[in-house]
């Protein structure tokens, strides 16, 4: 009996030891589960996508799959210019004479025409193109247009995947878009965002007074190397050619990118392919936007249109009876409220094309047909100088200060008339910071030649107009030292 009890006790001790050992082993991770036993994460996703959400995601996927093959990577070799005198900087001779750059391009025809940015291929001694299928070709520059920052190159290939070029006039702020290109040498990169703004100008990216800046702004990430790539909508239509980024010295994206509208790019590309250059038409006007004060001074019910500040002598506008001070409301039935809207539309037209302008003049809307001219026909207008002296007016009321608008003026001398090539006017001598005059961008050194469409011979004339227009807005015609006229509207307090 005792023997049986002893055996049972021994067995119990062994069992307890085995169990205790197993617990210890598993606690220290010495016994591992099998692959089949391992279950990671929750058993189901936290959100079940509905059909609409799935379709929305699928749209991005399909656009990336369908459009990316039509986007190419461009490598450029260009000669480095020596900005220094070799005597003082002899080490520059030891530096490489060539430099390499890169960008993107969009295939626009099956036989190898590709659109890109002018700044990608500018001054290139060699251009190479890499396709999505990893084939490489040497490319020829067909033509460039620095005024729009566009260029066309060509490779010797057939049956290439071709992008569908959409209609950028249909774009809306808030619309989803995707940027496709090769940023930072990372091939076939796709980013997404929305159209943040349209008609974005005054970025000073094209340093030419005839440059066309009418960009699509997007928060889809664009970085160096994206230049010349595609901005596409969710149907896969190319709506813009990626061109620039907003940056503060870093050279990389900080929030916004800019693309050239595809409608402008199509017009430029056709001209470059057909002629190797752009035969662009020009109206021959210097224009500015209409603000609230100017609208009131002109008799417009609200700020709209763009004002003609000056005419090119012998230009298309002058021959079509367009006058300084006219407000262009529409071109070919399209409303224009920003200078770059007019420039961008005209940039799609060739010399010899007729456009119809709807103009606000003397309280009425009139129409004028303008036959666009080539740029080289037009020359800058020069006012005719009348050297006759009006001593009695020049010496009366020599200076005046209008405290209510923060403006001081004085009569101009005969020498200043010659310097400004002006017939009449008073010169602005001081503008008080943050005054009404300051807010309307009146600056020291400008001439006021007209006020309320009345010629200003001296400060007495200007004072008379301001006194008569208290509580109303006055349109000022200004002239700078280069002879360029400008308009400003300013409200005169009661």
Catalytic residues: 119, 149, 227
Q: Which two tokens stand for residue 123?
A: 């001054």
Residues 6+ apart with CB under 8 A from 304: 290, 295, 327, 329, 335, 337
Taking the C-alpha atoms of residue 173 and residue 56, their distance in angstroms, rounded to an integer, is: 18
Residues 6+ apart with CB under 8 A from 12: none
Taking the C-alpha atoms of residue 100 and residue 123, their distance in angstroms, rounded to an integer, is: 11
Q: Which of 69, 94, 304 is nearest to 163 (CA)?
A: 69
Residue 416 burial by Cβ neighbours in a 10 Å radius (0-12, 13-18, 19+): middle
Q: How far apart are the first and last CA of the chain?
A: 125
Strand partners, 332: none
Residues 6+ apart with CB under 8 A from 447: 412, 420, 422, 425, 426, 427, 428, 478, 479, 480
Q: Where are the alpha helices (DSSP H) in 28-82?
A: 51-67
**Within 13 Å, how many C-alpha atoms sit on residue 411's CB side?**
17
Residues 6+ apart with CB under 8 A from 51: none
Q: Which two tokens stand for residue 117?
A: 């940015």
Taking the C-alpha atoms of residue 254 and residue 223, their distance in angstroms, rounded to an integer, is: 9
Strand partners, 379: 313
Taking the C-alpha atoms of residue 412 and residue 447, their distance in angstroms, rounded to an integer, is: 9
């Amino acid at each position: 009996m005792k023997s049986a009890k002893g055996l049972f006790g021994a067995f119990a001790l062994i069992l307890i030891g085995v169990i205790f050992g197993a617990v210890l082993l598993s606690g220290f991770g010495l016994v591992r589960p099998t692959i089949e036993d391992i279950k990671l994460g929750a058993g189901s996703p936290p959100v079940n996508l509905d059909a609409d959400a799935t379709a929305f995601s699928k749209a991005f996927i399909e656009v990336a799959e369908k459009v990316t093959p039509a986007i190419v990577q461009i490598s450029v070799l260009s000669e480095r210019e020596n900005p220094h005198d070799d005597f003082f900087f002899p080490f520059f001779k030891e530096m490489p004479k060539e430099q390499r750059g890169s960008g993107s391009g969009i295939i626009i025809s099956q036989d190898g025409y590709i659109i890109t940015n002018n700044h990608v291929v500018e001054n290139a001694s060699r251009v190479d193109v890499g396709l999505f299928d990893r084939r490489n070709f040497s490319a020829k520059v067909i033509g460039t247009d620095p005024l729009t920052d566009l260029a066309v190159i060509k490779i010797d290939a057939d049956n290439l995947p071709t992008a569908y070029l959409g209609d950028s006039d249909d774009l809306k702020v808030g619309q989803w878009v995707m940027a496709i290109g090769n940023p930072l040498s990372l091939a076939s990169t796709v980013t997404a965002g929305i159209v943040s703004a349209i008609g974005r100008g005054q970025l000073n990216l094209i340093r030419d007074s005839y440059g066309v800046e009418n960009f699509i702004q997007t928060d889809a990430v664009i970085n160096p190397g994206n230049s010349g790539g595609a901005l596409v909508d969710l149907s896969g239509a190319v709506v813009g050619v990626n061109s620039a980024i907003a940056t503060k010295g870093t050279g990389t994206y900080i929030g916004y990118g800019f693309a050239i509208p595809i409608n402008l790019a199509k017009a430029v590309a056709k001209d470059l392919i057909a002629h190797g250059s752009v035969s662009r038409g020009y109206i021959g006007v210097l224009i500015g936007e209409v603000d609230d004060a100017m609208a009131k001074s002109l008799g417009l019910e609200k700020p709209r249109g763009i004002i003609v500040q000056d005419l090119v002598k012998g230009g298309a506008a002058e021959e079509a009876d367009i006058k300084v001070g006219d407000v262009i409301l529409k071109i070919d039935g399209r409303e224009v409220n920003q200078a770059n809207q007019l420039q961008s539309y005209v940039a799609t037209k060739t010399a010899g094309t007729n456009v119809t302008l709807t103009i606000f003049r003397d309280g009425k809307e009139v129409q004028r047909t303008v036959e666009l001219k080539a740029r080289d026909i037009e020359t800058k207008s020069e006012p005719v100088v009348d050297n006759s002296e009006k001593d009695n007016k020049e010496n009366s009321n020599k200076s005046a200060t209008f405290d209510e608008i923060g403006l001081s003026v004085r009569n101009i001398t005969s020498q200043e008339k010659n310097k400004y090539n002006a017939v009449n006017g008073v010169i602005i001598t001081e503008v008080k910071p943050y005054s009404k005059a300051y807010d309307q961008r009146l600056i020291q050194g400008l001439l006021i030649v007209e006020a309320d469409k009345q010629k200003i011979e001296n400060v007495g004339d200007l004072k008379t107009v301001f006194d008569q227009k208290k509580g109303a807005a006055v349109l000022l015609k200004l002239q700078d030292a280069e002879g360029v006229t400008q308009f400003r509207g300013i409200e005169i307090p009661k």
